[in-house]
Homo-oligomer: A and B are copies of this chain.
Amino acid sequence: MNKIYNAYDRYGASSQKQDVFNAIKNLSHGISTTTFCNLFPSPFDKQLIALHADGAGTKSALAYIYYKETGDLSVWENLAIDAIVMNTDDILCIGSTGPFYLTNIIGRNRNLINQDVISAIIQGFEKFTNKMSEYNIDIMLTGGETADIGDLTKTLTLDAVAASFISENHYIDNKNIQSGDVIIGLESTAQAHWEDMPNSGIGSNGLTLARHTLLNNIYKNLYPESFDNNTENDLIYCGNYLLTDESPIAGLDMGKFILSPTKTYLPIMKEIFQYYCNDIHGIIHCTGGGQIKVKRFINNLRIIKNNLFSVPALFEMIKTSANIDWMQMYEIFNMGHRLELYVPADLASEIIAISGKYNVKAKQIGYVENNDTTEIVIDSKHGVFVYN
């Protein structure tokens, strides 16, 4: 297979979404442009509100194929985790670990998606919130909307919105990221205490690319409803794998490996905030934009990431299958850690220790220094890549 230049772009996706940023650039960002989520004054004294929207993206197209092939409804339960965590773990970057108020939005093609699927998704929301309550994380399910919109939705879309509150004296603003900070990364792989199985680390980003470049071409004819007709022919399911092939993780087939539900960092961060909330300079959830995500929150700093986690097996496989540049890989995928904390050096060991207690490896993956311009340096065993 030839190298896929601008791979993401050719799939009609984008890690930077420049045109969206242009469209919304005049909208209010609330009290600060550098908080990870927008924060607004609430009607209540000294309390700010975050209202945040995100979803499972095209991961649902993979859940759909897997479900059709195997009849296994658990992938829909897990998709609910993706929709929740993509919201809650964005919001934790401003310093809140709840209570969260959460609503879901399901867009459904009712000719293809039956009640069992909707029930499994709802059950997934319930199971995950119950699990989190064991860690004193309070996520209230406030309802939702399931729209039958087959004229718009080929299979199913799953989004959620979470609301949370934080004191105006205690929120985290990435404008405080500064020279001398060390960067602690929390791994996206392995199996945290609250997870039912080991995680491939993918989260809910880059799934269009992962699915098409890994999966075998047989799915093209079997599930034409699972991809965009406008996609260039040679990009559609152009990989080697069947969903039921073994994955690098024992006990997971390739389907469930790619469908690993987005790992939440809520229980860890709840404990960290208890001690260090006022000492953390910034937190970045490495979702769309991958390891470069921090870039739009900082100014005249160089971020050097010179001690990243080993590239997880799934990302190695995507890299090989898609034949994408390493430089682009770091912009699309989290590549090993999905949460990074910018903190004074003397906090590092405590934070790493807390994370470890929950079976989530953390380590110093880089540091921050002053610079004339803003740039991110990925200094990896695959090469040194500079983004500016």
Contacts and interface: CB of A to CB of B under 8 A. Distances in A.
A53 B143 contact: yes
A139 to B, nearest CB: 12
Contacts of A101: 40, 49, 51, 163
Interface in A136-153: 140-153
Interface string A269-299: 0000000000000000000000000000000
A151 B154 CA distance: 8
B228 A150 contact: yes
A230 B51 CA distance: 36
A13 interface: yes
Given A12-B150, A157-B157, A227-B151, A27 B141 contact: yes
A30 B27 CA distance: 32
A77 to B, nearest CB: 13
Interface string A90-125: 000000000101111101011110110011011000
Contacts of A122: 23-24, 27
A111 B12 contact: yes
Interface residues of A, number: 81
Interface stretch (A57-65, A315-323, A354-362): A57-65
Contacts of A153: 107, 152-154, 157
A316 to B, nearest CB: 23
Query: How many copies altogether?
Result: 2
A144 B58 contact: no
A370 interface: no
A161 B110 contact: no
B118 A40 contact: no
A119 B22 contact: yes
A42 B9 CA distance: 42
B20 A226 contact: no
B110 A53 contact: no
Nearest to A150: B228
B115 A12 contact: no
Contacts of A152: 58, 60-61, 153-157
Interface string A42-59: 011001011111110110
A165 interface: yes
Interface in A205-250: 208, 211, 225-231
Given A27-B126, A165-B43, A109 B230 contact: yes
A165 to B, nearest CB: 6
B44 A47 contact: yes
Nearest to A8: B148
Contact of A231 (B119, B140, B150): B150
A30 B60 CA distance: 29
Given A38-B142, A107-B107, 16 more contacts: A19-B118, A20-B146, A24-B144, A27-B126, A28-B140, A30-B142, A40-B101, A43-B165, A49-B101, A51-B103, A51-B163, A53-B161, A61-B151, A109-B230, A151-B227, A161-B161
